[in-house]
């Protein structure tokens, strides 16, 4: 199997166009990592990084954990890519949700050339979000004790407002540069550029996770090993099982058969036929987990501040129970993932429009009458498979928390056994492999799922 995969990758470099796309993608991703490494002038990023490296690495959530996932450590290095690509993703999600509530945007998206305008609106919104988030982050660097619990001084510039303006503009420029590089990968490289930038940021944490893993089984200077080889074998088995489950559910879909009747449009006669409508089990993807994490970032801090300032013990106990890893946090976290799974599907899946399009094109689902009956059938079917996908997302999301709190596995290691990291990496790898396989099949090479042999020499 490994030999077959290696031979397939070798075949990828035998096709000039695919080879140039792969090399271009790797070059752009390397530039993205440089953006996450170059510090903002006027900030002592090295001191902050040294302080954070001295802390125990077993925290499993919060604002820093969320941003560390998507920026590849750029935030804690005070780098120009400290905002990462998240403002662009947030803007895209907002525009998509607005299409469901603003009829003019929904109509524009269906018009010729409308999709280009929608993308342009997303870019404008990205700039606005970057300026706002960049200014807030500049204030956070100015007061590192509130953001990083760091008592030192990070700002090296005397003029406060010059520092704030400069930092805000550089953070905004860094995100816009990443956005542009991602679009270049999508157009001229291989795979989805924005997703690949997020993935490369996640993979940048792999060396730190490997270091923690070594300390778990072999220890280090001043640190004793906490696990035996049997635990290591169980972790490997669990990792394989989780990745296999993510791949299976990510690709799983319910195929709804669709029959088209023969119809005449003008002088043209369109023959009837049969097809199917694929309904994905995990339609929401990773979005419910991201929404749940983003919302649960703030209540703990807010209740802790209320408890300390007002002197009310109830708020202090509530803040303690909302810490990542507690039973109450896991229950609330799971409930929010279930809710946002249905919310995202309700916002993105329009069964009424699908039913109308089928009826307009002479299509129908066998055994289901066109019109309202088709709408109800699609709604009920989507609700059932969404429940299965939501349960899967919930299980995957809580695995790192349980491993971190119950098994005392460092969160840097546990995050690769579930949660957002695995879902994003598996989804991006599958999408990229599909695009590579399409190039191979076009040039008479077998893809990843077949025997890696050359069928013809043309091309």
Q: Give residue 267's pLDDT.
A: 67
What integer is the mean pLDDT of 208-236? Answer: 73
Q: How confident is residue 363, by pLDDT bands cut at 50, 70 and 90?
A: confident
CB 52 within 8 A of CB 154: no
For residue 459, pLDDT beyond 50: no
Helices marked H in 13-113: 16-35, 45-53, 62-71, 86-101, 103-110
Q: Would you call 8 exposed, middle or buried from its count of C-beta atoms within 10 A (0-12, 13-18, 19+)?
A: buried
Q: Give residue 180's pLDDT.
A: 93
Q: Give residue 264's pLDDT.
A: 65
pLDDT, tens digit, for every residue of 367-410? 888 888 999 999 999 999 999 999 998 998 888 888 877 777 77
pLDDT, tens digit, for every residue of 16-70? 888 899 899 999 999 999 998 888 988 887 887 777 766 655 444 455 655 666 7
More confident: 174 or 66: 174
Q: Give residue 25's pLDDT.
A: 92
Q: Give residue 176's pLDDT.
A: 94
DSSP 326: S
Domains of the chain in start order, with CATH, are 227-407 (1.10.3370.10)
Closest to 398 (Cα-Cα) out of 384, 379, 414, 378: 414
pLDDT, tens digit, for every residue of 327-349? 888 898 899 899 989 988 887 78
Q: Give residue 60's pLDDT.
A: 45
CB 74 within 8 A of CB 82: yes
More confident: 89 or 305: 89
More confident: 127 or 435: 127
**Inter-residue long-range contacts of 311-319, CB under 8 Å, 24+ positions, other chains counted:** none
C-alpha dihedral (169, 171, 173, 178), degrees to nearest 10: -170
More confident: 355 or 12: 355
| Number of other CB atoms surrounding residue 197 within 10 Å | 28
d(CA 328, CA 326): 5
């Amino acid at each position: 199997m490994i030999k077959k995969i290696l031979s397939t990758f070798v075949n990828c470099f035998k096709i000039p166009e695919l080879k140039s796309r792969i090399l271009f993608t790797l070059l752009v991703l390397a530039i993205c990592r440089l953006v996450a490494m170059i510090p903002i002038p006027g900030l002592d990023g090295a001191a902050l990084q040294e302080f954070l490296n001295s802390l125990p690495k077993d925290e499993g959530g919060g604002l820093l954990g969320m941003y560390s996932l998507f920026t590849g450590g750029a935030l804690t290095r005070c780098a120009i890519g400290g905002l990462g690509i998240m403002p662009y993703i947030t803007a895209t999600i907002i525009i998509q949700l607005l299409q469901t509530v603003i009829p003019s945007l929904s109509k524009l998206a269906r018009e010729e050339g409308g999709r280009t305008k929608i993308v342009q609106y997303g870019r404008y919104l990205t700039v606005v979000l970057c300026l706002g988030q960049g200014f807030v982050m500049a204030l956070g660097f100015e007061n590192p004790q509130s953001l990083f619990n760091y008592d030192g001084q990070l700002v090296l510039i005397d003029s406060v407002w010059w520092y704030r303006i400069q930092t805000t503009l550089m953070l905004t420029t860094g995100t816009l540069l990443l956005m542009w590089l991602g679009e270049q990968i999508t157009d001229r490289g291989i795979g989805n550029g924005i997703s690949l930038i997020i993935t490369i940021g996640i993979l940048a944490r792999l060396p730190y996770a490997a270091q923690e893993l070594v300390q778990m089984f072999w220890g280090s200077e001043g640190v004793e090993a906490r696990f035996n080889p049997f635990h290591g074998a169980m972790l490997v088995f669990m990792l394989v099982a989780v990745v296999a489950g993510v791949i299976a559910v990510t690709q799983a879909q319910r195929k709804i058969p669709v029959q088209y009747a023969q119809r005449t449009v003008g002088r043209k006669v369109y023959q009837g036929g049969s097809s199917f409508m694929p309904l994905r089990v995990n339609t929401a993807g990773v979005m419910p987990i991201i929404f749940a994490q983003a919302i649960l970032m703030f209540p703990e801090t807010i209740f802790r501040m209320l408890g300390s300032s007002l002197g009310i013990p109830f708020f202090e106990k509530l803040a303690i129970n909302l810490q990542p890893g507690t039973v109450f946090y896991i229950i609330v976290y799971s409930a929010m993932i279930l809710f946002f799974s249905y919310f995202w599907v309700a916002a993105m899946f329009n069964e009424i429009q699908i039913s109308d399009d089928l009826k307009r094109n002479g299509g129908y689902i066998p055994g289901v009458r066109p019109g309202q009956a088709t709408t109800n059938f699609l709604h009920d079917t989507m609700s059932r498979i969404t429940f299965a996908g939501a349960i899967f997302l919930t299980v995957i999301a809580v695995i790192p928390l349980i491993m971190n709190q119950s098994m005392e596995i460092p969160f840097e290691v546990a995050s690769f056994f579930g949660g957002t990291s695995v879902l994003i990496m598996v989804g991006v790898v599958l999408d990229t492999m599909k695009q590579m396989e399409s190039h191979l099949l076009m040039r008479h090479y077998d893809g990843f799922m077949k025997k890696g042999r050359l069928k013809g020499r043309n091309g």
